[in-house]
Structure 1
Amino acid sequence: MIFLSVLSMPLSLWFLGPSVKYVLPLFEVADSGFWGYHLFDMKRTLYPASIWGQVEIPASKSQTIHALLIALFARGVSTITNPLICADTEACMDFCTKLGAKLTYSDRTLVIDSTNLTPRDGIEVDCKNSGTTLYFATALSCALGNEISFTGDESLKRRPARPLLSSLHDLGANVDRDADTAPYSVCGPLLGGHTSIRCMTGQYLTALLLASPLAKQTTTIDVHLLQEKTSVRMTEKWLETQDIKFFRDDNMKHYTIGGGQSYKPLQKDINGDFSLAVFFLCAAAMTGSTITITRLDPKSSQADRDILPILKRMGCVIRSDGHSVTLTGPTSRLKATDVDMRGIQDLLPALAVTACFASGPVKLINVSHSVVKGTKERSSTIAQAINSLGGQAQVLRDSIIIYPIQAFSGADCVDSYGDPRVAMAMALASLKCTKPLTIEGCECLDSTFPSFFDKFNSVSLAH
């Protein structure tokens, strides 16, 4: 990334308050093809408030990365409107440009020209903190005949990759089979054949499903321990839109994907991200307020749309016109209801904070998978944060029990632990604190939702 000098562009800086250093606006750097906001050494102080109004949530990160990678391997010109621009999607764009694609961005439209890709041996891809980019790009790179190396930040280097690499080896690719995590290198071709994979994360299976159509022969996959079925179904919809031929059984335990297929250029509008919208929906739920979120499809294939029936069970009223969602929280306490987090672990931080204001204890079960999703074991992290604020969260082997409180009255400063969802969950907590709350380490939001605090403050009504 090449950063523009702060001193050379004073009129274009966006200043976000005394605790924020600087945010660079949207820009293009000609020799790297990157766009985005960049946060530095950031902490924020928030005050007790209610949530009220209307907000547009950024596009889905997963959908944006799906679109980018399909466009890359379509060998043509594709158009993506309303993509999410953040550090994670920039990591994916970096991968695209290093393979020779030309990317241009203007008026919320991203054009990808992959007509003349120029992959070569020795390409090094830094996926930063993007596990989605790491896993998907690793598998798709095996469809090429070039050695490509992958690495990432310290958090990404802790995410397990061996199950995916072993399956790619089964399918004919040359990989660092003994590597547990990045850094590692892979090299095609991808031949096809049979593999069996234990899905600690659904991203393993999604990566194989995206790459297998490009293999020379048919691929069969036996799937074990898949929890994130909804997110895999989203990938299946992408394959269907691309006319990719595949078969699976009803239990999603066996897949057959025809080889020798190809992707075609696409024109795709990316809807809002439910995994980001959840923080605004939960904010209204726990404060008895009303929020409308635009560009949000209630029938989306995104796994985290499951937040809607969960909050409805807790007593919220939800309305939709097909293009937006309006939620009103109850005037009394939320109803206590246990929640199975299988496949929706990204909802854990927001739901854990929200559950503090239910009518009784709330048990969040099947949370152990969160160790793969976050910067450290997310269940322990969010419980530690809640307890430091004066809440009551008990971590068990595969669940968390949240006990009801009236308000947070503990520490006046809390750490994000480098996890953007924990940072946003602490913003939720600030709404029900008895005093101002300072959140440290908010630069982690650069990877997921750089404009979160702007959006959050725009609908906050201070008490």
Structure 2
Amino acid sequence: MVSILTGSEATGTQSDPWPAPLARQPVEAVVAVPGSKSGTNRALVLAALANGTSRLRGALRSRDTLLMAGVLRTLGIEVSTEGPDWVVHGHPTPSAAPTARAECGNAGTVARFTPALATLTRGDVVFDGDARMRERPLTPLLGALRELGAEIDGDRMPFTVHGRGRLRGGEVIVDASHSSQLVSGLLLASPHYDTGVTVVHRGSRLPSAPYLDMTVADLRAAGATVEVDAVCSPAAGPVADTRRWRVEPGRPTAADRTIEPDMNSAAAFLAAAVATGGRVMISDWPESTEQPGRLLPDLLVAMGGTARRTSAGLEITGAGAVHGIDVDLSDFGEAAPILTALAVLADSPSRLRGIAHLRLQETDRLAALALELGRLGARITVADDGLAISPAPLHGARLDPHADHRLAMAYAVVGLVVPGIVIDDIATTGKTVPDFPEMWTAMLDQ
């Protein structure tokens, strides 16, 4: 059974009730969002084992990336900051401190990307995290690492990796149906395995597949040789999925890198334009990207906005009405909380499909969205694979984000239109947007 944690249960802190600001007029703003969490943590991992020093510009400095830096230091990697930049002094065979303890919080990227690195260090490392992280899927990853030659005690947090300075590598089959991070966690350190690695996902449809495109692109940018094959298996059913990644052994190179803005974090600000009939521009939106957030503009257009790319960034303009949407979000489940926020404001029903895996995120996002937005009067039904939302009159209420940054941001979007919404534990947004309350208020003041 997967539980829904409140903010205080997950973080050990008291809730800090935050009255969500009401938009008195259509929002008109230009917003610069922080660097991508996914991009920052992938870059930190690749830089950690590179031969030389890497500088990461525009990198995110939030709870999740600070946790990643802390775990890398635990593994013997020198990570520092110089002004806004991260500086990583890579080491191909670092040594962990005796009785090292890697604290992962509730960061999936940290918990899933760093155990493979720990096998390449010399020393024993105990991995642990927040109460919710102890429930999130790790067993397929740890089992796969054992098949590749790792010595690991335990299948869930807390578990211990006995680093021996090397990992044999080889071929492994893993069911990553619950999280694409399980595959990324095997691939990112794989150039350092003795024989490289071949990872085969075999199971139901792989969720959030574009994140694996990010992993492959980052590996190639670091000099790794990566081959990718994807084959559907109709005989096993319409959602059966078999994919294969092969990474050759080698030594990734250190390099300076600029991290893209986080498109997932941009979603709430762009949704503000659709919700209020206003206009919001996200500056420095990349012309091309592997981030799943590249799908966001079309989704917002389907719900009543218009999108325009300029040399300055991406601009979304609302039309004064929000429309329902029927969409498969298998590739972009991160958008579900914000789209749900818009859907409860819409003039027609919505159906968000392909997001059963969100039950295993920072909280059970499907149950939490239905429960909390239901306090406003929203009509949300949890289905096997997602959510069904029907128009209903809304009123104010106090909402708990359940220690989930994306839920807190979604509530803030609804609060632009519905008076009297108070959000507990708004500080949970610090997981990816350290200054979210200030940025949200500043958006409304422009």
| TM-score w.r.t. length of structure 1 | 0.86
Paired residues of 2:333 and 2:355 also in contact (CA < 8 A): yes
Give the Å deviation of 1:146.
2.8
1:29-51 deviation digits (Å, cap 9, x = unpaired): xxxxxxxxxx9753211232142
Give the Å deviation of 1:121.
4.5
RMSD of equivalent CA atoms: 1.9
Q: For residue 157 of structure 1, give the secondary structure of its aligned residue in structure 2.
A: coil
1:216 aligns to what?
194
Aligned match for 1:403, one of 390, 400, 411: 390
1:321 aligns to what?
310
Does 2:129 match 1:141?
no
- Map 1:296-307; keep pairs closer than 5 Å: 296-307=285-296
1:82 aligns to what?
58
Give the Å deviation of 1:353.
0.9
- Give unmatched runs, 5+ long, in structure 1: 1-38
Give the Å deviation of 1:446.
2.4
1:232 aligns to what?
212
Return the alpha-carbon distance in structure 1 between the equivalents of residues 197 and 114 of structure 2.
Answer: 18
Paired residues of 1:364 and 1:399 also in contact (CA < 8 A): yes
Q: Name the amino acid aligned to 2:221.
A: T
Return the alpha-carbon distance in structure 2 between the equivalents of residues 195 and 100 of structure 1.
Answer: 28
Return the alpha-carbon distance in structure 1 between the equivalents of residues 223 and 88 of structure 2.
Answer: 20
Aligned match for 2:426, one of 437, 442, 445: 442
Does 2:27 match 1:51?
yes
Q: For residue 460 of structure 1, give the secondary structure of its aligned residue in structure 2.
A: helix
Paired residues of 2:426 and 2:437 also in contact (CA < 8 A): no
- Structure ranking higher on relative contact order (CA contacts 8 Å, 6+ apart): 2
- Map 1:26-425; keep pairs closer than 5 Å: 41-49=15-23, 50-115=26-91, 117-176=94-153, 178-179=154-155, 181-188=156-163, 189-199=166-176, 200-224=178-202, 225=204, 226-251=206-231, 253-259=243-249, 261-321=250-310, 324-331=313-320, 333-375=321-363, 377-405=364-392, 408-411=394-397, 413-425=398-410
- Give unmatched runs, 5+ long, in structure 2: 1-12, 232-241
Q: Name the amino acid aligned to 1:245.
A: T
196-205 or 446-455, larger mean C-alpha shift = 446-455
1:369-392 deviation digits (Å, cap 9, x = unpaired): 0022222x1011011111101211
Q: Name the amino acid aligned to 1:228.
A: S
Q: For residue 189 of structure 2, give the secondary structure of its aligned residue in structure 1.
A: helix
Q: For residue 282 of structure 2, give the secondary structure of its aligned residue in structure 1.
A: strand
Return the alpha-carbon distance in structure 2 between the equivalents of residues 298 and 354 of structure 1.
Answer: 26
Q: Name the amino acid aligned to 2:382.
A: V
Q: Name the amino acid aligned to 1:350.
A: I
- Is the alpha carbon distance of 1:120 and 1:336 closer, same or farther for their aligned partners in structure 2, counting shifts above 3 Å? same
Q: For residue 54 of structure 1, give the secondary structure of its aligned residue in structure 2.
A: strand
Return the alpha-carbon distance in structure 2 between the equivalents of residues 323 and 65 of structure 1.
Answer: 26
Paired residues of 2:96 and 2:124 also in contact (CA < 8 A): no
Q: For residue 249 of structure 1, give the secondary structure of its aligned residue in structure 2.
A: strand
1:307-363 deviation digits (Å, cap 9, x = unpaired): 1111122231111135511110113x2332201121212111111010123331100
Q: How many residues align?
A: 416
Return the alpha-carbon distance in structure 1 between the equivalents of residues 285 and 392 of structure 2.
Answer: 31
| TM-score w.r.t. length of structure 2 | 0.89
Paired residues of 2:173 and 2:199 also in contact (CA < 8 A): yes
Paired residues of 2:75 and 2:121 also in contact (CA < 8 A): no
Q: For residue 220 of structure 1, give the secondary structure of its aligned residue in structure 2.
A: strand
Paired residues of 1:44 and 1:442 also in contact (CA < 8 A): yes
Paired residues of 2:282 and 2:313 also in contact (CA < 8 A): yes
Q: For residue 350 of structure 1, give the secondary structure of its aligned residue in structure 2.
A: helix
- Is the alpha carbon distance of 1:40 and 1:52 closer, same or farther for their aligned partners in structure 2, counting shifts above 3 Å? farther
